[in-house]
Amino acid sequence: MTADNHDRLLNPEEYMPLREVVFLRLRRQILRGELKPGERLMEIGLANRLGVSRTPIREAIRKLEHEGLVVMIPRRGAHVAEITRQELNDVLEVRKSLEVLAITKACGRMTDEDVDELRTEEQAFAARVREQDADPAALGQFDERFHDVIYRGTGNRRLIQILNNLREQMYRFRVEYLKDTEVRETLVKEHDAIIKALEKRDTAEAVRIISLHIDNQFRSINRALDTDGEEAEDGQPQ
């Protein structure tokens, strides 16, 4: 199957309205970095690539604008929204508070079997980190699986729902973070420290490590934004 055919959406097993399928596909491509920040969204090109008319493309772009993932620039059309420091700060500020709440609840509620499962997920993540040319998107999925075990360990369905909703907004930041090969081993060490704190039921230590985990993520993404800005000034592609 060619890349072009792989992009096509018309799937007889798909029961969602076409406009929703197009919206979700474009949204995923933006969140996963397949459509780059600042990239212009050309209706005709997207319609041809996805094998649909321009109408669902236009509707999807409007919805993406409402979500803040697309911006409309006068006389220049629709563009993928840039990742800004303000957006980064807002999202990670919320995530840090929720992760602290989650780790606090999980520390008192996770069973030994849950902690064993967490260790298994961490080993899988560490093995993937040490592969050559590890894909940041794939690493992100392994990292999410690790945190999922903690979320389930809270026993709080509403908290899990809120964290899962925030995950979508975090995706672009998570991929940027995991592009930095230097921080991957740090992540492995932080995951290990989280597990050890949970094994000891040491809530204060678990909170300290998860807070450091988020703070390091913030610093790493900021470095990436600085690098991208310098490249843009030099006229190099981002």
Confidence of residue 138 (pLDDT cuts 50, 70, 90): confident
Do 75 and 90 have their domain in common? no
- pLDDT given at position 233: 43
Distance, CA of 111 to chain centre: 28
Q: Do residues 121 and 209 both lie within one domain?
A: yes
Which of 80, 104, 119 is a domain's end point? 80
Per-residue pLDDT tens for 32-46? 778 988 999 999 999
238 belongs to a structural domain: no
Q: Is the pLDDT of residue 224 over 90?
A: no
Residues 162 and 209 in one domain: yes
Question: Are residues 212 and 99 part of one domain?
Answer: yes
More confident call, 9 vs 216:
216
Residue 60 has pLDDT above 70, yes or no: yes
Q: Is residue 60 part of a domain?
A: yes
Amino acid symbol at 78: A
Could you tell me if 186 and 217 lie in one domain?
A: yes
C-alpha separations of 212 from 44, 96, 113, 139, 218 in Å = 45, 9, 26, 20, 10
Boundary (domain end) residue, out of 49, 80, 111: 80
11 and 25 housed in the same domain: yes
| Confidence at residue 227, expressed as pLDDT on a 0 to 100 scale | 66
Give the count of domains, the chain. 2
> What range defines the domain where residue 54 resides?
3-80
CA distances from 97 to 37, 48, 100, 163, 191 (A): 27, 43, 5, 11, 18
Q: Pick the range with the lowest mean pLDDT from 89-93, 113-117, 153-157.
A: 89-93
Q: What are the pLDDT digits (tens) for 93-133?
A: 999 999 999 999 999 999 999 999 999 999 999 999 988 78
Kindly state whether residues 106 and 201 are assigned to the same domain: yes
Residue with more model confidence, 224 or 187: 187
96 and 72 within one domain: no
- Whether pTM exceeds 0.85: no
Q: Is residue 158 part of a domain?
A: yes
Q: Is the pLDDT of residue 55 over 90?
A: yes
Same domain flag for 59 and 124: no
Last residue of a domain, one of 34, 49, 80: 80
Please compute, for residue 80, the number of CA atoms within 13 A of its CA located in the half-sphere on the CB side.
18
Do both 70 and 176 map to the same domain? no
CATH code for the domain in which residue 95 is found: 1.20.120.530
Residues 104 and 72 placed together within one structural domain of the fold: no
Residue 74 lies in a domain: yes
pLDDT at site 36: 87
